[in-house]
């Protein structure tokens, strides 16, 4: 049986254990430079996936990432960063990893081989036809992930596959398949390297693209940021200073009057309304600053 591309020996890195350290990292860097090009080849499918996820989200659906090993951990990483970055509820983007969350910090690789466990994980999360499920598997044939995707599709959910081999097995059970083919790894089979990097890049595009389309940014600013620590409060001040040309003290006073809700502060300043009016407009606009401003503009017009 022909080895998957992700499992093959890379002829360009043979002898890597006998070169200088500088040459070693140069070889790794040269291979890494191929990742962005492989992702670029998949942009039409990534864009299609974003639009399809947005359509489900606007119907009240959720986004799930499913994977095992490195792929599963990357899904967890992307999911947990969405709420603080974009101000969404944690249940709207969820991650399922074979072996449970313990597998985030300790390998539970045996869990990969059980398609029934993958299917059961979808049932346990209550996935419905409104939801979108992204199955992540460098090989494209991981039983747990395929089991999860098969079950999700049977329930009517949108299914998306992310693999790093051409014509992967999971393509047969998904609506959209994204396959950045990065070639053999620097160290044969170590798909945490180029394949993992490609998967991270695609997941960045998926979640960020979805949130932009939903209006959870303001231009290219993280205006829905949740200000849960001092670093983030300082970042919010900087955003307001840059956007409105105000002093740091003015930014602090505005955020304080908005009860440290950056979205509310944006709308207050831009529309010159009270905090209560800003919150009301945001609530009616699904917490999109631009839609809230448009709503207030229509209300103000005779």
Given the residues 112, 124, 185, 230, select the one marked as catalytic: 112
Using a 10 angstrom Cβ sphere, with 0-12 exposed, 13-18 middle and 19 or more buried, the burial of residue 20 is exposed
Q: Is 112 a catalytic residue?
A: yes
* Cβ contact 167:178 at 8 Å: no
Residue 117: how many other CB atoms lie within 10 Å: 17
Cα 16 from Cα 42, distance rounded (Å):
30
Cα 143 from Cα 132, distance rounded (Å):
19
Q: How far are the Cα atoms of 134, 159, 219, 225 from residue 211, in angstroms, in the given order?
A: 16, 19, 12, 12
CA geometry: angle 33, 34, 37, nearest 5 deg: 110
Given the residues 7, 55, 81, 169, select the one marked as catalytic: 81
Q: Which two tokens stand for residue 19?
A: 């070169």
* Cβ contact 169:142 at 8 Å: no
Q: Which two tokens stand for residue 190?
A: 């170590």
Instruction: State the DSSP code for 129.
Output: T
Sign of CA dihedral 149, 154, 155, 157: positive
* Cβ contact 277:258 at 8 Å: no
| Residue 175 DSSP SS3 | coil
**Positions marked active-site:** 81, 112
């Amino acid at each position: 049986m022909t080895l998957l591309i992700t499992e093959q020996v890379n002829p360009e890195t043979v002898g890597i254990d006998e070169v200088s350290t500088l040459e070693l990292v140069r070889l790794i860097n040269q291979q890494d430079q191929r990742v962005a090009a492989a992702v670029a080849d998949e942009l039409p499918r990534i864009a299609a996936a974003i639009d399809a996820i947005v359509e489900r989200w606007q119907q009240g659906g959720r986004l799930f990432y499913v994977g095992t090993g490195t792929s599963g951990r990357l899904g967890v990483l992307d999911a947990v960063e969405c709420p603080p970055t974009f101000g969404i509820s944690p249940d709207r983007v969820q991650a399922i990893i074979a072996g449970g969350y313990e597998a985030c910090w300790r390998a539970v690789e045996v869990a990969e081989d059980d398609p029934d466990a993958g299917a059961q994980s979808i049932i346990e999360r209550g996935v419905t036809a409104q939801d979108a499920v992204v199955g992540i598997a460098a090989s494209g044939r991981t039983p747990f992930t395929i089991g999860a995707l098969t079950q999700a599709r049977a329930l009517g959910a949108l299914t998306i596959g992310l693999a790093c081999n051409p014509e992967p097995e999971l393509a047969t059970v998904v609506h959209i398949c994204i396959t950045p083919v990065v070639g053999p790894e620097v160290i044969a089979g170590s798909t945490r390297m180029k394949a993992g990097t490609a998967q991270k890049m695609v997941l960045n595009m998926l979640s960020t693209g979805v949130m932009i389309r939903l209006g959870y940014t303001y231009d290219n600013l993280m205006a829905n940021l949740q200000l849960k620590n001092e670093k983030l409060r300082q970042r919010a001040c900087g955003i307001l200073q840059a956007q409105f040309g105000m002093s740091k003290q003015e930014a602090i006073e505005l955020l304080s009057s908005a009860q440290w809700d950056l979205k509310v502060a944006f709308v207050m300043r831009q529309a010159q309304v009270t905090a209560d009016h800003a919150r009301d407009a945001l609530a009616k606009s699904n917490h999109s600053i631009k839609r809230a401003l448009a709503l207030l503009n229509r209300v103000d017009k005779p």
